[in-house]
């Protein structure tokens, strides 16, 4: 299992999902260029046929198929058709360019579900108050998704909770957004608002934001125990660079609308936010959901860091054990008798 590469594809027979468009068609081209053969699977058979005709005019190395890859019947039919046409099936490539090598004789829908459909929850937070950091969070998200098939991911923008969400426990509104099998969900801002903005701005009491650390760790532990890959990013810009970007946008008529009076006011609370961020990272960076701090003075390097970290996390999940990780055991309170014995 690996990210798409020429070495993984040379001379192989590969089934490509979402092959009729976007990155799927690009993957087909890469396989053909490496001397491989392709079963193109797309919901729209005409799109798969058009891609096959454009990339393989004589049709000797492509097999266009129609179907929904989330349905086991489609995968079974594709495996059978590819094996019948080409004599074997080496593996699968999904729309994110992740290669799963499975001998045709070892294929089963259960194996696909267990080993290939990794759930990924990406969390993007940026330095400075109210998350309006000009640290490059939006640009990093755009680079992460621009070549992905739209049906394979969602970006969830997180703002202040509405009246209905405030009537539920704080984390309720995030649970319903977590990814289905094989999907990527990116949270543009996240459930960490309770220990950052709400803490600094006084929107919640000290007791509430201190309790939130435990609740967040428990929630992320439950997600990880069911196989969700969690990638959390804190995009950190230094104060001088942030000021330069503020002034650049202020003086640009086409972008000045992005800069508000609130941004200038929040800049004055830099120290308070940095203190809150430091405590957040220390208390919520865990083995199953570690924080990645990304220096964003250089936007290009920051985007490369985000992309490589997500790829590494997915590869690690695909190559690791398929058994769910056990949920962390809750800490037991000591009884008065146990306390007296210890004393």
Kindly report, residue by residue over 243-253, the tens digit of the pLDDT.
Answer: 888 888 888 88
pLDDT number for residue 197 = 86
- Identify the three-state secondary structure at position 229: strand
The CA–CA distances, whole Å, from 126 to 141, 186, 200, 237 equal 12, 14, 15, 8
267 shares a domain with 311:
yes
Model confidence at 226: pLDDT above 70: yes
* Highest mean predicted confidence (pLDDT) among 38-42, 159-163, 229-233, 329-333: 229-233
Residue 104's domain comprises 2-114
Question: Between 92 and 220, whose confidence is greater?
Answer: 220
Q: How many domains does the chain have?
A: 2
- CB atoms closer than 10 angstroms to residue 22: 16
- Match 């809150």 to its residue by tokens: 276
- Average pLDDT rounded to a whole number, residues 140-158: 82
Q: How far apart are CA 171 and CA 160, in angstroms?
A: 13
Q: Which of 15, 81, 18, 89 is nearest to 48 (CA)?
A: 18
* pTM tops 0.85: no
266 shares a domain with 222:
yes
The H or E element spanning position 330 is: none
Task: Answer whether residue 70 is part of any domain.
Answer: yes
171 shares a domain with 263:
yes
Task: Answer whether residue 201 is part of any domain.
Answer: yes
Q: How far apart are CA 93 and CA 3, in angstroms?
A: 9
Model confidence at 214: pLDDT above 90: yes
Q: pLDDT band at residue 119, thresholds of 50, 70 and 90?
A: low
127 shares a domain with 56:
no
**3-state class percentages of the chain: helix first, strand second, coil last, to nearest 5:** 50, 15, 35
148 shares a domain with 92:
no
Q: Which of 117, 314, 321, 326 is nearest to 225 (CA)?
A: 326
Q: pLDDT band at residue 19, thresholds of 50, 70 and 90?
A: low
Kindly report, residue by residue over 166-186, the tens digit of the pLDDT.
Answer: 888 889 989 888 887 778 888
**Which residues sit opposite 65 in a β-bridge?**
41
Domain boundary among 114, 143, 162: 114
139 shares a domain with 88:
no
The CATH number of whichever domain residue 269 belongs to comes to: 3.40.50.300
Question: Residues near 339 by Cβ (< 8 Å), separated by ≥ 6?
Answer: none
Question: Between 66 and 285, whose confidence is greater?
Answer: 285
127 shares a domain with 77:
no
Q: How far apart are CA 229 and CA 122, in angstroms?
A: 8
Task: Answer whether residue 309 is part of any domain.
Answer: yes
Task: Answer whether residue 331 is part of any domain.
Answer: no
pLDDT number for residue 338 = 60
263 shares a domain with 123:
yes
Q: pLDDT band at residue 218, thresholds of 50, 70 and 90?
A: very high
Task: Answer whether residue 257 is part of any domain.
Answer: yes
pLDDT number for residue 131 = 37
pLDDT number for residue 13 = 66
């Amino acid at each position: 299992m690996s990210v798409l590469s020429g070495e993984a594809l040379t001379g192989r027979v590969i089934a490509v999902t979402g092959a009729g468009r976007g990155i799927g068609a690009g993957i087909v081209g890469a396989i053909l260029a490496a001397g491989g053969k392709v079963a193109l699977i797309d919901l729209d058979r005409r799109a798969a046929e058009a891609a096959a005709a454009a990339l393989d005019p004589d049709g000797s190395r492509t097999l266009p198929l129609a179907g929904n890859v989330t349905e086991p019947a489609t995968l079974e039919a594709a495996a059978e058709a590819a094996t019948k046409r080409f004599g074997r099936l080496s593996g699968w490539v999904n729309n994110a360019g992740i290669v799963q090598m499975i001998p045709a004789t070892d294929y089963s829908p259960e194996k696909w579900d267990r080993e290939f459909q990794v759930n990924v929850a990406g969390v993007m937070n940026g330095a400075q108050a109210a998350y309006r950091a000009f640290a490059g969070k939006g640009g990093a998200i755009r680079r992460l998704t621009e070549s992905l098939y739209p049906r394979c991911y969602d970006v969830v923008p997180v703002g202040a909770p509405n009246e209905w969400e405030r009537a539920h426990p704080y984390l309720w509104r995030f649970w319903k957004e977590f990814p289905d099998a094989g999907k990527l969900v990116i949270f543009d801002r996240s459930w960490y608002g309770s220990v950052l903005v709400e803490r600094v701005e006084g929107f919640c009491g000290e007791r509430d934001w201190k309790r939130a650390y435990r609740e967040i760790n428990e929630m992320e532990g439950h997600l990880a125990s069911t196989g969700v890959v969690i990638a959390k990013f804190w995009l950190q810009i230094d104060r001088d660079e942030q000021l330069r970007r503020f002034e650049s946008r202020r003086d640009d008529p086409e972008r000045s609308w992005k800069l508000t009076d609130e941004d200038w006011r929040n800049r004055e609370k830099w120290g308070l936010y940095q203190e809150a961020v430091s405590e957040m990272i220390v208390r919520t960076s865990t083995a199953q959901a570690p924080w990645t701090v990304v220096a964003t003075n250089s936007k290009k390097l920051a985007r490369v860091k985000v992309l490589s970290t997500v790829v590494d996390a997915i590869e690690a999940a695909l190559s690791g054990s398929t058994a769910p990780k056990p949920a962390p055991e809750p800490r037991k309170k000591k009884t008065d008798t146990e306390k007296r014995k210890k004393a």
